[in-house]
Structures are given as structure tokens and as C-alpha cells.
Amino acid sequence: MTALPPVLLVGCGRMGGAMLAGWREQGLSPSVAVDPAAEAVARVGPDLRVVADAGALDPGFAPAAVVLAVKPQNAADTLPLYRRFAGRAVFLSIIAGRTLAGMRALLGEAAHIVRAMPNTPAAVRQGMTVACPGPGVSPAERALCDRLLRAIGVVAWVEDEALLDPVTAVSGSGPAYVFLLAELLEQAAREQGIAPDLARLLARQTVAGSGALLAASQEDAAALRRGVTSPGGTTERALGVLMAEAAWPRLVRAAVEAATARSRELAG
């Protein structure tokens, strides 16, 4: 596999750092990260120079992609600093809540932008990312962004940017729902008299192992659920509580609807 072309990474925090680690595993041509945080210097290597601000960039540096991984509240001040790359590099944004039109207003009409929503399992290369190309993005630019995102997990593409709001609610926020399940299972186990260390092990390994089985299986989630559920057994009794209309079915729908609505508010 050929090395990835030079990248300009703007923001080297948790998600930016996860992406960088994935790119390095694939081979990364000499690139630059912009991040004022002192800990960002730890990422320096033969394939990466770290600078504190856009003014420190080498005028001759020509990245193939500018990856925008800054906090949403910093976008309005940060993005205009990179307008000079519009028309010369594709912009790949993982900034939550910033629309293609809003970013284009900050980067210039010549900017080719791909908007993407990854999630935190990217840190272990098990992320789920959905991406949407903006106006003018070429097949080659899309292919480059796809490769950059596949370095941290699975990638899907949509043409309708509005779908990124429910995507954010399901996969972007979804890891928190799964972690909450592990948290509640652990708590319930302790309440049933199981020692804290064992309760944590039971909850974490059950959630992690079930996720691995789901990923490895050709069956859908409903079929796997039925496979665990013996008639008249303990699982059936528990699911009778969880699957009551007023329980998980309604709560999960309401949670995703609430997160989708908030994503639209932030984008607006």
C-alpha cells in the first residue's frame, strides 16, 4: 500500500490524535499538525511536525487534505486561517454541528469540503464514520477522504447532509448509550450482591463480547437476541421488562429523537 499523501491536521485532540495514529499505521508522508496544546508535541515524529498556530506553517507546505478537528465553538475563528488552501487541498471536517454551507462561508467559495461524523471507537480503529461530500468534491478527493477515514474504522457515505443529524444521534452519540448500559449492568450486579470487581468484569466483558459477536455474525441483532432467549427462561423474563412499549422501545426512540433535534439546533 502506498503511503498517504501529506496532510495538514488542524486540532490534535482525542479524535484528531486517533486519526493520526491510524494514518501512521498505513504510512504517512511528512505532514503537519496545528495545535497549541503542550501535549501535542508528543506526537512529533519523522512523519509529523507540530506547530502552535497557522502562522507557523511553512509557506511551501502543500497538503493533499486539510483535516479540521477543532472544537465547534472555535471554528468561526479558526477556519478562515486556512482559506489559502481552498482550491489546492480538500477539506475534511469532523467538526460537529458545522454545516457544509457554514464552513464554505468561512473557507471561501473555492473550498471543496467533505463533512464527516466519526465516533470514539476510532481510538481502537473500530470507529463508524458517515461522510457527506460538498459541492465540487471530485472523485479523487472523495477517495482520499475515504481512505483517511477508513484508517479508523468503517465508512459510509450519504449525499443528503440532513442525514448527518440522525447519524450523530445514533452512531456519534451511540457509544455513550453502550457505556451507560455497561454502567447500569455493573450497578445492578452490585445490588444483587456481586462483588464490585466481578460486577465490573461481568458488565464490561458482556458488552464487549456481545459487540464482537454482533460484528462477526451474519445474523441481524434481532436473530442474535432470539438465540439467547430460551422460552420460559431468565432472559425471556428480563426482556419482558425491557421490551415493554413504555421501556426500551420508547426510550431509545425518544433518546435518538432528542439527540437528532439537538444536532439540528447546533447546526442551525
In a domain? residue 252 = yes
146 and 15 in a common domain:
yes
Domain boundary among 130, 163, 196: 163
Answer yes or no: pTM beyond 0.85: yes
Co-location of 185 and 158 in the same domain: no
Rounded CA-CA distance 82/180 in Å is 38
Residues 178 and 134 both lie in one domain = no
Number of domains composing the chain: 2
94 with 176, same domain: the answer is no
Buried b / exposed e along 247-259 (16+ C-beta atoms within 10 A): eeeeeeeebbeeb
Identify the helix (H) or strand (E) that includes residue 147. Answer: helix 139-150
Residue 267, pLDDT above cutoff 90? no
Residue 193 lies in a domain: yes
Mean pLDDT of the 173-182 span = 97
**pLDDT computed for residue 97 by the predictor:** 86
Q: How far apart are CA 168 and CA 120, in angstroms?
A: 12
- Per-residue pLDDT, averaged over 221-230, amounts to 97
Average pLDDT score over residue span 9-13: 95
User: Within a domain: residue 158?
Assistant: yes
Q: Determine the pLDDT at residue 268.
A: 66
Last residue of a domain, one of 134, 163, 192: 163
Q: How confident is the model at residue 266 (pLDDT cuts 50, 70, 90)?
A: confident
Summarize the confidence of residues 142-148 as an average pLDDT.
Answer: 98
Is the residue at 46 inside a domain? yes
Let me know whether 98 and 180 are in one domain: no
Mean residue pLDDT of the chain comes to 96
CATH number of the domain encompassing residue 59: 3.40.50.720
| 113 shares a domain with 12 | yes
Any domain includes 2 = no
Distance linking the first and last C-alpha atoms of the chain? 41
Assign 1 a pLDDT band (cuts: 50, 70, 90). confident
Percent of the chain with pLDDT over 90: 94
Residues 35-88: tens digit of each pLDDT: 999 889 899 999 999 999 999 999 999 999 999 999 999 999 999 999 999 999
3 state SS of 93:
strand
159 in the same domain as 45:
yes
The CA–CA distances, whole Å, from 262 to 173, 255, 257 equal 11, 11, 9
| pLDDT of res. 93 | 98
Residues 194 and 99 in one domain: no
Q: How far is CA 218 from CA 124, 149, 221, in A?
A: 22, 24, 9
Domain final residue pick, 139, 163, 187? 163
* Whether 198 and 159 share a structural domain: no
SS3 content of the chain, % helix, strand, coil (to 5): 55, 15, 30
Are 23 and 106 in the same domain?
yes
- Answer yes or no: is 212 within a domain: yes
CATH number, domain containing residue 183: 1.10.3730.10
Instruction: Give the separation between CA 165 and CA 262, rounded to whole angstroms.
Output: 8
User: Residue 62 has which C-alpha cell?
Assistant: 502543500
Q: What is the mean pLDDT of residues 116-124?
A: 96
Which residue range(s) make up the domain with 61?
Answer: 7-163
Beta bridge partner(s), residue 133:
114
CA distance 264 to 268: 6
Q: Which of 87, 90, 147, 142 is closest to 113 using CA atoms?
A: 90
259 shares its domain with 184: yes
Closest to 71 in 3D by CA, of 35, 31, 21 = 35
Residue 159 shares a structural domain with residue 177: no
Note the pLDDT tens digit of each residue in 15-33: 999 999 999 999 999 999 9
